[in-house]
Structure 1
Amino acid sequence: MQHLADRLRRLPPSCGPVRLVGVDGHAGSGKSTFAGLLAAELGGAPVLRLDDIASHDELFGWTGRLLTQVVEPFTRGATAHYGPYDWHARRFGPARALPAAPVVLVEGVGAGRRALRPHLARLLWMELPREESWARGRARDGAEQRDFWAGWVLAEAEHFADDPSRPYADLLIRQRGTGPGTPFQPGYEVLPGPAGTAEPSRDITHGDDPSAMC
């Protein structure tokens, strides 16, 4: 993980002074867990979770809000402010600050959408097929979210059919031992993405000897 973090730090800024890094993939593919580990390796880099920008009424119609509340301030080197959405209360909450740090991660389905890509320093894609991802997401969220998931899978499929992210990914992140019913294992393989340069794949294992990390 250290090697990947170092590579991201060395990138030129992409959004004002910020190196904005997207972590995209299907719902349930492990984006949040991976982004949290990467943020820690980056010394506590801020993470913007797109679940905080989306809403029940706008599962994918949040582009304008993201550009206005986050991207535009970053281009000026200013702290961004956004009101995170409360999925239980079904309303946006008080404004939260997001500093224009050297690296900021944007994590969520649609982080690599065409409107955001010009502002990204790198796009990472969690390499797990959608059916496996959705099965893990349903298992995680339980029966009480069954109706939500029924609508979500249709909305996600429609979004990626119109605005795919994976073809534009610089790197593919594949979790070791993935598959239906597979427990979490904190190890990842980094592969060149469709839009990236060919590099040898690297294995990154959280908690291993740092000398062996990617």
Structure 2
Amino acid sequence: MPVLSTGDPSWPAAAAGLLRGAPPRAGRCRVMALEGPSGAGKSTVADRVGTELGCPVMRMDDLYPGWDGLAAVVPLVRAWVIDPLLRGGHPRWRAYDWDRGRHAEEWQETPTGPFLLIEGCGTGARELRPYLSVLAWVDAPADVRAQRLAQRGDAALYAPYREMWARQEDAFCAEHRPREHADLIIENTAAGRL
């Protein structure tokens, strides 16, 4: 399995090349999931690879149904992202309103071409893996992840839920073992953002 380091300036091109060379498994779309623990830098990694590919990035933060919703996001990703792709359409989803504690009424659509990135814990679930062209595990040392979480723009909002979310991540990883099934490891070890 390839291992890329964000310390190597060629890593976005290498990650994009891996997806380009993989077979489409969600209809005609090649989907890369970026999975890993909070603070690993999944969002930033997804942005860099998405720029390299010129493709959209879907974020699980828009779909999780609340702070206790990690497990519940998996069927939403299947219904709102994967199933439309399998039918030749585009992902159609409702954003979660964190202030109101519910999904919005209006539907949004994410137009896709040959590639789509989905990032966030839950994207490497057993039920989703058959439809992923590449599952990437993004990781960073615990101290770097803690520093990044403390520097988030929503750090104060996130802080009361951090332990609860970490327990959900641990349970998810124990059940689904996404790192063991990853096609690619991205070591995002630099302190701060890429």
User: Could you say which TM-score interval applies, normalised by the shorter chain?
Assistant: 0.7 to 0.9
Residue of structure 2 equivalent to 1:29: 40
Q: Report the TM-score when normalising by structure 2.
A: 0.84
Give the length in aligned residue pairs: 180
Residue identity opposite 1:103 in structure 2: F
d(CA) in 1 for partners of 2:17, 2:158: 38
Identity %: 33
Choose which of 90, 93, 108 in structure 1 pairs with 2:120: 108
Residue of structure 2 equivalent to 1:50: 60
Choose which of 164, 168, 171 in structure 2 pairs with 1:155: 168
Contact between 1:26 and 1:134, CA under 8 Å: does it hold in 2?
Answer: no
Pairing 1:86-165 to 2, within 5 Å after superposition: 86-93=97-104, 94-130=106-142, 132-140=144-152, 141-165=154-178
Structure 1 position 127, deviation (Å): 2.2
Task: Identify the structure with bigger relative contact order (alpha carbons < 8 Å, sequence gap 6+).
Answer: 2
Contact between 2:64 and 2:96, CA under 8 Å: does it hold in 1?
Answer: yes
Whether 1:66 aligns to 2:77 is yes
Structure 1 position 135, deviation (Å): 4.7
Q: Report the TM-score when normalising by structure 1.
A: 0.77
Residue identity opposite 2:73 in structure 1: W
Structure 1 position 84, deviation (Å): 1.1
User: Cα RMSD between the aligned structures?
Assistant: 1.8
Residue identity opposite 1:170 in structure 2: D
- After TM superposition, the runs of 4+ consecutive aligned structure 1 residues lying more than 6 A away are none
Greater C-alpha Rg: 1
Q: 1:151 to 1:24 in 2, by over 3 A?
A: same
Whether 1:84 aligns to 2:122 is no
Residue of structure 2 equivalent to 1:5: 16
Residue identity opposite 1:2 in structure 2: A
Contact between 1:73 and 1:79, CA under 8 Å: does it hold in 2?
Answer: yes
